Amino acid sequence: MDEPQALAAFAALGQAHRLRVVRALVTAGPTGLAAGLLAEAVGIASTNLSFHLKELSHAGLITSRREGKSVIYSAAYAGLSDLVQFLMRDCCQGRPEVCAPAVAALSACACPPSPARFEPGPSRRRRREAIAKPP
């Protein structure tokens, strides 16, 4: 991701209604939400929502598909991921301990993964190994 794109994305997220929309879509998952439901969830007029959706879409943070009369919007996880990556690129002058907390925070990411299969032990080691053996 290049600077202009990242800038557009951050500007898009830096507005209350748009941030709410993105959060709603992020938690909604790949299924997405219809424009109408979004307008209700965020509490703004549909005409206003449309404006913000266009902004978000143009910034690469959401995608849309038509389904009958409705237009369904969903989060563009790849775009979000790229954005995070742009922000933290070259983050620590070779001292991983500086940015490690950010990585850990995202790993924790609170996707309660069907609690049964949550293995206690090796997560830390696994993560380190994953970092140690790049492409």
Partner DNA sequence: CCATCAATTCAACATTTGTTGAAACGTATG
Partner DNA sequence: CATACGTTTCAACAAATGTTGAATTGATGG
Residues that bind a copy of itself (CB under 8 A): 3, 6-7, 10-16, 19-20, 22-23, 26-31, 75, 77-78, 80-82, 84-85, 87-114, 118, 120, 123, 127-128, 130-132, 134
Q: Which is nearer to a copy of itself, 33 or 69 (CB)?
A: 33
Residue 95: CB minimum distance to a copy of itself, A: 7
Residue 87: CB minimum distance to DNA, A: 17
Residue 95: CB minimum distance to DNA, A: 24
The secondary structure of residue 82, as a DSSP letter, is H
Q: Which of DNA, a copy of itself, none does residue 92 bind to, with CB < 5 to 8 Å depending on kind?
A: a copy of itself
Q: Which residues pair with 66 in a beta bridge?
A: 71
Binding site for DNA (CB under 7 A): 11, 15-18, 34-36, 39, 44-55, 64, 66, 68-71
Residue (of 59, 66, 25, 29) closest to 42 by Cα position: 25
**What distance lies between CA 60 and its chain's CA centroid?**
11
Q: How many CB atoms lie within 10 A of CB 52?
A: 23
**Three-class DSSP category at 62:** strand
**Whole-number Cα distances in Å, 32 to 25, 90, 120:** 6, 33, 32
Q: Which is nearer to DNA, 57 or 102 (CB)?
A: 57
